[in-house]
Structure 1
Amino acid sequence: MSIRSARPFLAARRRAVAGLSAALLLSAGFALPAHAETVLRVSAIPDEAPTELQRKFAPLGKYLEKELGMKVSFVPVSDYAAVVESLATRKLDLAWLGGFTFVQAKIRTHGTAIPIVQREEDATFTSKFVTADPAIKSLADLKGKTFAFGAPSSTSGSLMPRYFLLQAGINPEKDFKTVAFSGAHDATVAFVAAGKAEAGVLNASVWDKLVESGKVDPAKVHVFATTPTYYDYNWTVRGDLDPAVVKKLTAAFLKLDPKNPEHAEILKLQRASKFIPTKAENYAGIEQAGKAAGLLK
């Protein structure tokens, strides 16, 4: 075989060896460089119905594709734990997390998960206690009642409300007749409206949205108490995502301007006035609450 005729053969062999090497690296648990990825895989904790999460993300996904110059794919997950595990195992690149879920992700990834932005509203977030029973007018009136939290790992639907209940001298497991977990904020309202629970708690943002959209009648299900403020949701990236992509992502979120009609639609769906930078230290209080509740070691 001449040198000239051997060139195509050698080039093909080099490509085959390169492909085999990449496959062996992946099968052995080694990650390919982050810059080799062409799709940004995004998800969110399932704190609302799956169809609602998809609807909220659609215009944001298109915007991020334009800003990043790469495909953006939304990956539905079954529960809160799945988001944390998927970030840790590189199945997700970016995730919308609650404060407690971020703390879990930080621990699971040995501190490598990075919160990049939060809504301005998330610096002073609250939860709303709701009921359809006119006799329930304060937290003290909850004793002996049936009660619904959201998902067990929800910051605003479980952890922080529980923390503030304990501070008020109310132990849910001892003082409530029964404790249920609805799985999502909108489901909690449905539980209360249907009489499956005499009271419940959900995040303020979802409550406001349900009232505004007419999906709940505040004359029937009403707020009787509100928690003190705390830090909550953020967008978090896995720690080994290409730094150039992280920089572009952060800039894209911070660039969203309510005066721009296209951006205004995105911000409205995200229930955000604007996005601001955030950092892991903002969630130290939530980590302390998680430890106090025995949910973290």
Structure 2
Amino acid sequence: MSHSALRTMKSLLCAALGAGLMLASAPSLAQQVLRVSAIPDEAPTELQRKFKPLGEYLEKKLGMKVEFTPVTDYAASVEGLINKKLDMVWFGGFTFVQAKERSKGQVVPLVQRAEDEKFRSVFITTTKDINKLEDLKGRTLSFGSESSTSGHLMPRSFLLAAKIDPDSDLKRVAYSGAHDATVAAVAGGKVDAGALNISVWEKLVGEKKVDTHAVRVFYTTPGYYDYNWTVRADMAPELKKKISDAFLALSADNAEGKAILDLQRASKFIPTKAENYAAIEAAAKNAGLLKK
């Protein structure tokens, strides 16, 4: 074989090896779109409105397209992440525990709002003689979604702690599907009382979308860990870090950060970990909502 032919073969071999190395490193560069969703604990239009500026901010920080895909129910948010149709989801504490169990630990909570370290639920009513949890016996009550932490699991666990079994001591239990729908059910007289997350309640009161002369809070729960942004465990470590850093960099000291944080009803974001949700997992098992 001539020297020129050898040189040609060497060049082709080097090119092939170079292409192979490029392909080997491709997975870390392959993800061009971050597919994001959230549990539908509020109306779809409200979720889209809340996410839009956050999505635009993440696009700038990550250097990739960020797409928000609404889901029909809480279970769909869990399945979407586990089945790799979604990359990141805004979960409630209970939905995170469900995703962790369904995926056998293959999901990672990255960040939560500072407010989610001691989140609370409120019980509301229009009935004058309902003033404590015990007064709910023989009454009708609406929770939110069955998979909601703050709209069902934790309110149920506090009722059980007060020796009230919703399924036997109450006249009827309803599930509205979302926190704002619970307020509407109580205000409209469809149920005697309702349980929802304190953040949505305060937002509706602040926006004057609820008549506080008619609908009032009669019980506020102790604090518990709740919402977080969760990703799949198989996400590239550098992307996980970029996402965490982007959330942690949000600050109310600048206009963009303040606008995003206000929409997320957050003072700031902080790191979180799976261990924070052990109490939620225990409460779900005690309430018979998760296999023991």
Instruction: Please report the TM-score for the alignment, with normalisation by the length of structure 1.
Output: 0.89
Q: What do you get for the CA RMSD once the two structures are aligned?
A: 1.6
Percent identity, aligned pairs only? 65
Match of 2:260 among 254, 257, 266: 266
- Matched residue type, 1:187: A
> 1-side partners of 2:95 and 2:55: how far apart?
22
Q: C-alpha offsets along residues 77-118 of structure 1, whole Å, 9 cap, x if unaligned? A: 000000000100110001000000000111111101000000
Match of 2:124 among 111, 121, 130: 130
Match of 2:245 among 247, 251, 261: 251
Q: Give the corresponding residue for 1:113.
A: 107
Q: Does 1:205 align with 2:199?
A: yes
- Matched residue type, 2:123: F
> 2-side partners of 1:108 and 1:172: how far apart?
27
After TM superposition, give the deviation of residue 296 of structure 1 in Å. 1.2
Q: Does 1:93 align with 2:87?
A: yes
Q: Give the corresponding residue for 2:190.
A: 196
Secondary structure of the 1:148 match is strand
Q: Give the corresponding residue for 1:166.
A: 160
- Matched residue type, 1:173: D
- Matched residue type, 1:56: K
Q: Does 1:74 align with 2:72?
A: no
Q: Which runs of 4+ in 1 moved over 6 A?
A: none
> 2-side partners of 1:83 and 1:178: how far apart?
28
- Matched residue type, 2:81: L
Q: Is the 8 A contact 1:35 1:242 kept in 2?
A: no
> 1-side partners of 2:136 and 2:158: how far apart?
13
Q: Is the 8 A contact 1:118 1:234 kept in 2?
A: yes
Q: Is the 8 A contact 1:34 1:241 kept in 2?
A: no
Q: Give the corresponding residue for 2:12.
A: none
Q: Give the corresponding residue for 2:44.
A: 50
After TM superposition, give the deviation of residue 33 of structure 1 in Å. 3.4
Q: Is the 8 A contact 1:103 1:287 kept in 2?
A: yes
Q: Give the corresponding residue for 1:154.
A: 148
> 2-side partners of 1:132 and 1:160: how far apart?
22
- Structure 2: stretches of 5+ with no match in the other structure: 6-15, 21-25
- Structure 1: stretches of 5+ with no match in the other structure: 4-13, 19-31
Instruction: Please report the TM-score for the alignment, with normalisation by the length of structure 2.
Output: 0.90
After TM superposition, give the deviation of residue 141 of structure 1 in Å. 0.8
- Matched residue type, 1:155: T
Match of 1:231 among 222, 225, 231: 225
Q: Does 1:277 align with 2:271?
A: yes
- Matched residue type, 2:38: A
> 2-side partners of 1:244 and 1:89: how far apart?
22
Secondary structure of the 2:45 match is helix
> 2-side partners of 1:65 and 1:278: how far apart?
22
> 2-side partners of 1:152 and 1:291: how far apart?
14
After TM superposition, give the deviation of residue 135 of structure 1 in Å. 1.4
After TM superposition, give the deviation of residue 34 of structure 1 in Å. 5.5
Q: Does 1:176 align with 2:161?
A: no
Secondary structure of the 1:60 match is helix
Structure 2 CA distance for partners of 1:35 and 1:293, relative to 1, 3 Å: farther
> 2-side partners of 1:160 and 1:37: how far apart?
37
Secondary structure of the 1:33 match is helix
> 2-side partners of 1:35 and 1:181: how far apart?
43
After TM superposition, give the deviation of residue 61 of structure 1 in Å. 0.3
After TM superposition, give the deviation of residue 35 of structure 1 in Å. 3.5
After TM superposition, give the deviation of residue 119 of structure 1 in Å. 0.3
State the aligned residue count.
270
Q: Does 1:60 align with 2:49?
A: no
Q: Give the corresponding residue for 1:240.
A: 234
Q: Give the corresponding residue for 1:36.
A: 30
After TM superposition, give the deviation of residue 62 of structure 1 in Å. 0.2
Q: C-alpha offsets along residues 106-140 of structure 1, whole Å, 9 cap, x if unaligned? A: 11111010000000000000000000111111111
